[in-house]
Structures are given as C-alpha cells and as structure tokens.
Amino acid sequence: MTTAKNISLTLKVWRQKGANVRGKLETYQAKDISTDMSFLEMIDVVNEKLTLEGQDPIAFDHDCREGICGMCGAVVNGRAHGPEKGTTLCQLHIRHFSDGDTVVIEPWRSRAFPVIKDLAVDRGALDKLIQSGGYISANTGGAPDANTILIPQEVAEKAMDAAACIGCGACVAACPNASAMLFVGAKVSQLALLPQGKPEAAQRALSMLRKMDELGFGACTNERECEAECPKEISISNIARLNREFFKAGFFSSVK
C-alpha cells in the first residue's frame, strides 16, 4: 500500500469562451496536490484558487464521477480520458503523474462536438444518432414475458458488452477522422444481436449511418484508436457487425 504524498504539476489548459471564439492554451500551477486526489478534484482545487484570485475558473463537464456517464471526457497529454486504459477521466488519479510533470488538457476535437466553453463540449450529436434509429419498437407485457424468448448466453453476453458503451465520445476524440463508428457500431450491435432488435435492423443501420454523415462525423479507416481509448473497452468487432448490417440492409432489404 502506497502512502499519499503531495506533488506539483504545470497545467496547460485549453481556454475558449465559445464555439465561435478563438481559444488558446493557458498555463497554471497546481501546487501541493495529493496523489490520492482524482484528476477532477485537482481541477477543483485549481478552480478554487482561480476564483479566490478573481479569475474565471476552468469550465469542464462532469456528473457521476464514478466512470458511469463519461461526461468528464477531456484529452490529457494527447490521450482521451488520460493515460490509463479502460478508465474515464474522473477515475484517473494524480498518483499516475510525477512531481514536476507538465500536463496538457484539451477538449474533444470534432466538428460534431462544438466547444461550449474551455473543456466542455456539446455532445448532443450522439443523442441525435440514437434518435435516428438506436431503439426498438415492441409491445411490453409483464415481467414473465421477458423470459418467453430464449437467447443463447454467448449472444446475450455480446449484446451486453456492446451495451456497456456510455456514449462519452472518446472514440470520436481519439479517431484521426473524428468518426463515430465505434459508438454507432455498439448501439447497432446491442440491438441487432437480440431478437427484439431484428424487425427494425435494416432501418436502424441505414438511418444511423446516414445521420452520422449528416452530423459531420468522419469515416472509419480502421486506425483502432477508438478501441484503444474507449473507457469501457468496446471492441471494434462491433464496427464489423455494423458494416455487415449495413450491407445486408442495402442488398436484401426494401428499406431505402
């Protein structure tokens, strides 16, 4: 068990007042930060000092601070959510940095994610993708009715693995093309694998991919940065499944 200690960091933080305002990196000193603190707690400490000095605090998005929602997403030293694999930014701790380190903190970079302020971006484009087809239409019944459709365990586990996506947008931020294919692939997969998602499978694949293009996301070129930076470690096999669903819809479906 390691003992907590205090370290000091130099922060280079992206400051931008809005989507149509030119931004820049500004330097701040984070002094005597406990290694037991999370990354967001460190920013809270810096913001408290800025507020006491009459300066504008750093704007950043967050909610659960438990790795569930992904709203905390930012790029740390060029890595979406920071250097730790399978970790959201709110779960990243200062013990992973060394005394005297310089840490560069930037927002997600994508045309589809306009900057609201500083590190906070508008990820409403992901909600629009879901609205375009990431759902099923089914008559609901009592709880026992859920067991009337038997699903093999292997299939159920694959669907649940895809459903683990929290929609944080790290895949988009990590992709050199700012593609949302991993996100769309996960949402299409979690439904296409299950019987309840089959009736609308063709419409779902076509609609979500068309909406992705419309919203300004880039195309997938199999760089795999999305898989490497996803905090829930979603597999790019879901992109392959999305492609299969898309081709099936194009060749064997009357949906246009």
If one counts the domains in the chain, the total is: 2
Predicted structure pTM score: 0.91
pLDDT of residue 239: 97
Provide mean pLDDT across the span 57-77: 95
Identify the domain containing residue 136 by its residue range: 123-252
**pLDDT one-digit tens code per residue, 152-206:** 999 999 999 999 999 999 999 999 999 999 999 999 999 999 988 888 999 999 9
**Same domain assignment for residues 136 and 92:** no
Question: In sequence order, what are the residues at sequence separation of 6 or more whose Cβ sits closer than 8 angstroms to the Cβ of residue 243?
Answer: none
Residue 42: what residue type?
M
pLDDT of residue 143: 62
pLDDT of residue 145: 65
Helix (H/G/I), strand (E/B), else coil: 38? strand
**Same domain assignment for residues 161 and 100:** no
**pLDDT one-digit tens code per residue, 103-162:** 999 999 999 999 999 999 999 999 999 999 888 877 666 666 666 778 899 999 999 999
**Same domain assignment for residues 33 and 68:** yes
In a domain, residue 148? The reply is yes
**pLDDT one-digit tens code per residue, 85-109:** 999 999 999 999 999 999 999 999 9
Confidence of residue 39 (pLDDT cuts 50, 70, 90): very high
**Same domain assignment for residues 109 and 73:** yes
* Angstrom distance (rounded) from CA 197 to CA 245: 12
DSSP state of 248: H
pLDDT of residue 135: 82
DSSP string for residues in 68-136: SS-TT--EETTEET-SSTT--GGG-BGGGS-TT-EEEEE----TTS-EEETTEE--HHHHHHHHHH---
Percent of the chain with pLDDT over 90: 84
* Angstrom distance (rounded) from CA 107 to CA 188: 27
Question: In sequence order, what are the residues at sequence separation of 6 or more whose Cβ sits closer than 8 angstroms to the Cβ of residue 49?
Answer: none
In a domain, residue 1? The reply is no
Locate the DSSP E strands across the chain. 6-15, 24-34, 75-76, 79-80, 102-106, 115-117, 120-121
pLDDT of residue 149: 78
In a domain, residue 237? The reply is yes
